[in-house]
Amino acid sequence: MNDHIKQFLESGLLEEYVLGVIDSAEIEKVEQFIRDYPEVKAVYEELQENLELLAQKMATTPPPGTKEAILEKIDDEIAGKSTSSSSGTPTWAFAAVIAAIALGVWAIMLLQQKNDLSNQVETLREEYATLQEDCEDKDRIYAAQQEMWDLIGDPNTARFLLTGNDKAPGLEVIAYWNNEEQKSYLNLLSLPQPPEGKCYQLWADIDKEMISIDVLPKDAGQIVAIPHKLNAASLNITIEPDGGNDHATVEELVASVVI
């Protein structure tokens, strides 16, 4: 082997080329040596094979002490091969292979660390997105609550109390009615449980016709927004089948107030 080839092999460029960390300016030089010199091509193919085998074995995180064991192996191989006379393989070839293995382990460790970091970053991004959505939801809830309290406190908001008859004793509902803003709320102070399979439904009497406004929630102690009906002469609550009815069951009227 001439000194020109030996000098090239000892430069470490071939190992860097195999690992893909070589400077772009040196790529052509390395590929030219591989094409022109069979000795270089043989070492190149051996490095590729060793690195491929190593990548398969190192697909998971290396056990503790891997780095130290490899470094110790490098020292042993260099020392042993430099004094051995039975092998026909040059010392620099063994050193190059061992160095390539060490570089391969290092590269795989770096890749795993990069993947772990990428996963952590992605997790943080997902957590941030979830937190941002929670904040936006809370902002919407706060804005809705603020709008409700502003309307309740508006001097133009009328208040009407609906109390239950003997069909729904204890029923108490306050209606906040604002024709100017065309917005309304119900404060469900007390709602006795309707019969099984039944619900309470709110109606507006407009031109002597009962127009459905909404089905009331079954839980008391909350203020809920309801559709506003202009020109309503009265508000009425009836007992209807679950899910509401298309027409008011007048016989099941439980509360009414003129507005």
**Full residue range of the structural domain in which residue 108 is found:** 3-118
The residue among 56, 88, 118 that closes a domain is: 118
- SS3 of 88-121: the string is CCCHHHHHHHHHHHHHHHHHHHHHHHHHHHHHHH
pLDDT, tens digit (0-9, with 9 covering 90-100), for 1-59: 788 888 888 888 887 787 777 777 789 898 998 999 998 898 888 887 777 666 565 55
Residue 110 sits in the same domain as residue 163: no
Residue 113 sits in the same domain as residue 173: no
Q: Do 204 and 234 meet the contact criterion of CB atoms below 8 Å apart?
A: yes
d(CA 92, CA 72): 17
Q: What is the spatial order of strands in the sheet that 234-241 belongs to?
A: 209-215, 198-206, 234-241, 253-258
Q: Is residue 141 part of a domain?
A: no
Q: Is residue 68 part of a domain?
A: yes
Assessment of whether the complete model's pTM goes beyond 0.85? no
How does strand 183-190 pair with strand 172-178? antiparallel
Domain count, the chain: 2
Q: Is 97 or 225 the better-scoring residue by pLDDT?
A: 225
d(CA 143, CA 187): 18
What's 232's domain CATH number?
2.60.40
> Lowest-pLDDT range, 105-109, 121-125, 216-220, 228-232?
105-109
Residue recorded with tokens 């490899």 = 70
Question: Looking at this protein, which amino acid is placed at residue 174?
Answer: I
Residue recorded with tokens 């239950």 = 164
pLDDT, tens digit (0-9, with 9 covering 90-100), for 75-110: 665 555 444 444 444 545 555 555 556 666 666 666
pLDDT, tens digit (0-9, with 9 covering 90-100), for 161-218: 999 999 999 999 999 999 999 999 999 999 999 999 999 999 999 999 999 999 999 8
